[in-house]
Amino acid sequence: MFLRSSLGRIQRLTQRHITASAAASEMSDSLRSTLVSNDYRTVECNIAAQSELHEGKFYTIPPDVKKQVFSGGGFPKQFENQLKTFTETCLMIRQPALQLIQYIQNTDFSKPTARYVIYGENGVGKSLVLAHVIHYGYQNDFVLVHVPWVPNWMKRPKEIANAAQEGFIDLPFDAAAWLLHFKNHNSKLLEKLNLKTSKDYVWSKRESTPAGSTLLELVEHGIARIKFASGTIMNLLEELKLHATASRCKVMVAIDGYNAFFHPETRILTDNKQRVSPDRITLTQPFLNITKYDWINGVCVLVVDKIGMTEGFMESYMPRYLLGRAGFEHLDPFVPIHIQNYNDKEFHSCIQYYLDRHWIQKRPDGFEEQLKHMSNKNPYSVMQLTRSL
Q: What is the pLDDT of residues 295-344, one digit of tens each?
A: 999 999 999 999 987 767 788 999 999 999 999 999 999 999 999 999 99
335-364: average pLDDT: 92
User: Residue 286 in 3-state DSSP?
Assistant: helix
Q: What is the DSSP letter of 202?
A: E
- pLDDT (tens digit per residue) in 216-245: 999 999 999 999 999 999 999 999 999 999
CB 128 within 8 A of CB 236: no
Q: What is the DSSP string of 104-125?
A: HHT--TTSBPEEEEEE-STTSS
CB 71 within 8 A of CB 80: no
CB proximity list for 65: less than 8 A, separation 6 or greater: 135, 138
Query: Alpha carbon 15 to chain centroid distance?
Result: 54
- 201-202 and 89-92 as β-strands: parallel, antiparallel, unpaired? unpaired
Element at 208 (helix H, strand E): strand 208-209
- pLDDT band with cut points at 50, 70 and 90 for residue 26: very low
Which of 12-26, 230-244, 364-378 comes out lowest in average pLDDT?
12-26
- pLDDT (tens digit per residue) in 164-194: 888 899 999 999 999 999 999 999 999 999 9
- pLDDT (tens digit per residue) in 290-308: 999 999 999 999 999 999 8
**Model-level pTM?**
0.89
- pLDDT band with cut points at 50, 70 and 90 for residue 389: low
Q: What is the DSSP string of 166-196?
A: TT-EE-HHHHHHHHHHHHHHHHHHHHHHT-B
Q: Is the pLDDT of residue 358 over 60?
A: yes
- Number of Cβ within 10 Å of residue 33's Cβ equals 10
Higher-pLDDT residue of 115 and 387 is 115
In whole numbers, what is the pLDDT of the chain averaged over residues?
89
Which of 4-18, 95-109, 224-238 comes out lowest in average pLDDT?
4-18
Query: Alpha carbon 255 to chain centroid distance?
Result: 9
- pLDDT (tens digit per residue) in 48-62: 999 999 999 999 999
Q: Is the pLDDT of residue 357 over 50?
A: yes
Q: Buried (b) or exposed (e) across 158-179, using 16+ Cβ within 10 A? A: eebeebeeeebbbbbebbbbbb
- Cis, bond preceding 333 (omega within 30 deg of 0): yes
